Amino acid sequence: MTETSAGRPPALDARDERHHEPGAEPWWNESWYFDFAAPDGSLGGYVRIGLYPNQGVAWYWACVVGEGRPLVTVVDHEVPLPAPGSLEVRSEGLWADHTIEAPFDHVTLGCEAFGLRVDDPAEVYEPGGPRGERVPLGLDLEWETDGGVYAYPPGATRYEVPCRVHGRVLVGDETVELDGVGQRDHSWGERDWWVLGWTWTAGRLDDGTRFHGTSIRLGDQPVPYHPGYVLPPGGPLTGVDRTASRPRTGRAGLPTGDTVEVGDLRLEVTPVAFAPVLLEDGTGRVSRFPRALCRFRDPAGGRDGVGWTEWNQPQPA
């Protein structure tokens, strides 16, 4: 294990919160994720803005999910790239902006869009896409850093930020005031969704412990690169050099549960609600990407928690 003091790791610079110079790879991308969850796990959502300069587009995903709620999702893979240095995007039925108010400390996000209300998340994988009702979706949220910043070890240009999240979520004619938890991350480099599979997870336990882990696979074989961290109440943020995931999959590959290990922390993961995405590269390669609001259980410590988990699932040719 390696310890990192609370705040910005020395490997990162405030400029890393901004755009980076693109590489030449076709699927070079720069992405920002913003997850949020109510403390009781009843409601959550996430936003991803991914810039693909060599494809000439941005990908934009936003969703709201919850117990007893239908999925409301925005998935647009043809958004015009934002202006240089900006994270403001506009497309048909979509406006969103993402502002770094204070590097590594405070981010604001606004989104006004029309989402699709989907009763069965597995329909996202159906030919022609899901069917549903078009409903207004709005987010006016702030992410404030909660305890530290984690820079991935050499091999990846990426960092993770555990956060407190507050603001308003609007779905149709409903407004929800949120005072919850979340995670944001930022990465840049080539990302070929159709080669490597992985499990990524992050959350907060009810004693205030924060955690994150990523486990990568090539086919059925684990790749020996599995970063993560544990941040106990009061710190310090401690990087771990071992994470593991043992998902149990059900219909359409949607996981019914997982057992995740982040260093010495062993967690039982129970998906609450899914917001999946179907990923196609235009040449016939397909990956399924189920992402889920989850509850976590630490059997050894008797602690519970909430957060998000994703499983990238490249499909056979």
The 3-state secondary structure of the chain reads: CEEECCCCCCCCCHHHHCCCCCCCCCCEEEEEEEEEECCCCCEEEEEEEEEECCCCEEEEEEEEEECCCCEEEEEEEEECCCCCCCCCEEECCEEEEEEEEECCCEEEEEEEEEEEEECCHHHHHCCCCCCCEEEEEEEEEEEEECCCCEECCCCCCEEEEEEEEEEEEEECCEEEEEEEEEEEEEEEEECCCCCEEEEEEEEEECCCCEEEEEEEEECCEECCCCCEEEECCCCCEEEECCEEECCEECHHHCEEEEEEEECCEEEEEEEEEECCEEEECCCCCEEEECEEEEEEEECCCCEEEEEEEEEEEECCC
pLDDT of residue 5: 34
For residue 156, is it left (φ>0), alpha (ψ between -120 and 50) or beta? beta
Cβ atoms 171, 64 nearer than 8 A: yes
pLDDT of residue 134: 97
Q: Going by C-beta distance under 8 Å and a sequence separation of 6 or more, which residues neighbour residue 164?
A: 143, 144, 146, 179, 180, 181, 182
Give the pTM: 0.96
pLDDT of residue 317: 83
Reading the chain (317 residues) residue by residue, the pLDDT tens digits are 333 333 466 789 999 999 999 999 999 999 999 999 999 999 999 999 999 999 999 999 999 999 999 999 999 999 999 999 999 999 999 999 999 999 999 999 999 999 999 999 999 999 989 999 999 999 999 999 999 999 999 889 999 999 999 999 999 999 999 999 999 999 999 999 999 999 999 999 999 999 999 999 999 899 999 999 999 999 899 999 999 999 999 999 999 999 999 999 999 999 999 999 999 999 999 999 999 999 999 999 999 999 999 999 999 98
pLDDT of residue 32: 98
pLDDT of residue 255: 98
pLDDT of residue 155: 83
pLDDT of residue 4: 36
Query: At CA 162, angle to CA 160 and CA 164, rounded to 5?
Result: 145
pLDDT of residue 290: 98
